[in-house]
Structure 1
């Protein structure tokens, strides 16, 4: 669907901006790292919320202490009117035991959507019973409500991985409603077949991680993502007219340079590149 992704600041805390619940327009708010609030077709989706300091506690005193560079923009219990929470994989900054129980307690009707390959982690970290969890794998298009659909896609965080049953451990999500589609790629690097899988979804907006990858981190089990240049090329290849760069600015040892993102945004118009930022709302304007 032809349109323009507009961005602008909102006043006050994020809690106030979200207090009225979702409207019919597509609006996005960044939670930090890969986390987003997505209001679409009258529903509120939350993707990969990390709103605690659970990783700082886990890695205190190690070479990579996971101390936050930016505060959580909202408390889990203050994030309300949520219909669905989508987790792309089981790394803690995407499926956080310090965030999910409080978020679901504040939204007792909300459901969790997660990769089938990480069922145990989804149950354990969310605190939900199985009836409130939808487990999915790549290619399994599901309806969330009338006219709102999600299609999981494969992701390679740095490799494509499957469980013993063949289910993918890392996913992205194509989210479509009211003639607009956005694609949250999950944590991924480029891989053979990626463009051919995503292009048929006809994404208008691509939400892509841009912190790159470094051998010294990969060797310690800290998997990397797309570089900024790779992300722009991927967004262009799948036909997205707009791209939001994210997965930076949370942990100092594993981030990207915001000035480089902004410079790329100024010099690139295919796709139009934006940088996810706190206190900024993105809105899709059809046209």
Structure 2
């Protein structure tokens, strides 16, 4: 499968040309992000450039770039093994064309190992990580923490620390005691929260419409951000799948009764924010 971008190469060029003072983040739609630090360290988290599996999952947003247009990357992080988080056509070409290393939990690594021959990668381009580990990528210190995602086999979350602040990516996780522990242990400036709705989606096996609820609803997203004690919340995943899209503005009423987050920040695909 070859990825064709709807936007050409302007987004990876914008990232390559950026000179952030601290840590800049670009939202890629779905649950994907690019992080670039002041020293040029560039990390991708869950970049997904596929179109889904129509008619079960149908992508509703543009494909923002082709992976072959990425010129600078130091790491690609996966939170879990689902296709829209660990995806060979989206991620393997980035590894092949840059010095980036893929990091992921066991089930994601099992998938990524299959890219080695097809994309001319080396075995050490794929690194398995587990809860409790910490590794450095350039100026970023990355802590691997638990994530409660009942739909995934080996989900993890990432706490990314930089001199400019701390970013948390929980994949598709829901509220849990582990988030409370993370919120106590770290001073999180910005968290993302996978936010969705319910709908009748074709079953993966039978293709018959079945009631489907993915990701967290408004209440759960607000609860998770409060558990993490995050200053800012960016909702994600609400934009990508036909029949399961949602309005992130609805979250605003649900965070008012909590101490955290102090600000709801709504990004659209291609938008940048900074720590």
TM-score using structure 1 length: 0.78
* Range with greater deviation from structure 2 (33-42 or 188-197): 188-197
Shift of 1:198: 4.1
Structure 2 unaligned blocks of 5 or more: 1-8, 205-209
Deviation of the 1:105 alpha carbon: 2.7
CA 1:97 to 1:160, structure 2 compared with 1: closer, same or farther past 3 Å? closer
Partners of 1:216 and 1:228 lie apart in 2 by 20
Q: 2:96 — aligned with what?
A: 105
Matched, 1:188 2:182: no
CA RMSD of aligned residues (A): 3.0
Which residue number corresponds to residue 4 of structure 1? none
Aligned residues of 2:176 and 2:224 also touching (Cα < 8 A) = no
Compared CA separation, residues 26 and 125, structure 1 to 2 (3 A): same
Could you tell me how far 1:193 is from its partner in structure 2? 3.3
Greater relative contact order (CA < 8 Å, ≥ 6 in sequence)? 1
1:277 CA drift (Å):
0.6
**What's the counterpart of residue 211 of structure 1?**
196
Pick the aligned partner of 2:64 from 69, 73, 88. Answer: 73
2:125 alignment partner in structure 1: 132
Q: 1:233 to 1:190 in 2, by over 3 A?
A: closer
- CA–CA separation in structure 2 for the residues paired with 1:103 and 1:47: 12
- Give the match for residue 28 of structure 1: 25
- Unmatched runs of 5 consecutive residues or more in structure 1: 1-11, 162-168
Distance 1:24 1:154 in 2: 30
Compute the displacement of 1:223 (Å): 6.7
Give the TM-score taking structure 2 as reference length: 0.81
Count of equivalent residues: 257
2:218 is the alignment partner of 1:233 = no
d(CA) in 1 for partners of 2:30, 2:133 = 26
Moved more, 17-26 or 179-188: 17-26
Q: 1:155–1:171: 8 Å Cα contact kept in structure 2?
A: yes
Q: CA deviation at 1:23?
A: 3.8
Give runs of ≥4 in structure 1 deviating > 4 Å: 212-223, 261-269
